[in-house]
Amino acid sequence: MPLLLRADARQAPARGLAAWRIATWLLLMFAAFGIVQYVNHGNAVWQALHAPAADPAKASDLYRMLAWDAVYLLAALAVVLWSAGAILRQGWARPGLRFLAVLLALWTAISAGLLFDAMRPLFPEGTDLPTMLVGLPRSYQMALAMKVLAVPLLLWLAWQLGRPAVRAQFRRRR
């Protein structure tokens, strides 16, 4: 009888704790936090655009900010949708989340470089990298550290979602 149970267990999808699901939950929570941030920032920009003392010369900059908020909001909503689908093991969500994880890893690496590059003018010419990193404000150090940690985590998640053992845990499309 124990041999029969083991054979059945190999055929059934795993139902225990899976590291890829924890990473997906983290991604879902960060995206939800991003939604709150983009809505709040977009609301503040909208209020500034429609304030009685609004400067017409700065209106184009404010509209550009509002457009970026809308793009980031839509991207965060997509991440929430596909993450929730993957957590619920829906077959349609796995390839989409896998693509989004690679795309987010790429964007995170690019934005880390842009963030670091924006901080270069704070330091004299010829300052070495460790001195620059230590000299950055704490919030920038934390942002860079989180981006550096996020890139391999997102790539790992994309790899996990492509593995046959994980693929078997998702419901088939009907």
Per residue in 99-148, pLDDT (tens digit) is 999 999 999 999 999 988 888 888 888 888 788 888 888 888 898 899 99
How is the chain split into domains, by residue range?
20-167
pLDDT bracket for residue 153 (50, 70, 90)? very high
Contact between 24 and 157 (Cβ < 8 Å): yes
> Which H or E run includes 98?
helix 93-119
Distance of alpha carbon 86 from alpha carbon 31, whole angstroms: 14
Structure tokens at 132: 């620059």
Mean pLDDT calculated for residue range 55-79: 91
> In this model, does residue 15 exceed pLDDT 90?
no
Query: Shortest CA distance to 79 belongs to which of 142, 26, 144?
Result: 26
Per residue in 123-136, pLDDT (tens digit) is 888 888 788 888 88
pLDDT bracket for residue 32 (50, 70, 90)? very high
Query: Shortest CA distance to 95 belongs to which of 106, 107, 85?
Result: 85
pLDDT of residue 136: 82
| Cα–Cα separations (whole angstroms), residue 77 to 35, 38, 73, 136 | 7, 11, 6, 32
Is this model's pTM higher than 0.85 or not?
A: no
Contact between 82 and 120 (Cβ < 8 Å): no
- Provide DSSP, 20-75: HHHHHHHHHHHHHHHHHHHHHHHHHHHHHHTSTT--GGGHHHHHHHHHHHHHHHHH
Region class of 14: left (phi > 0), else alpha (psi between -120 and 50), else beta:
beta
DSSP state, 136? S
pLDDT of residue 75: 95
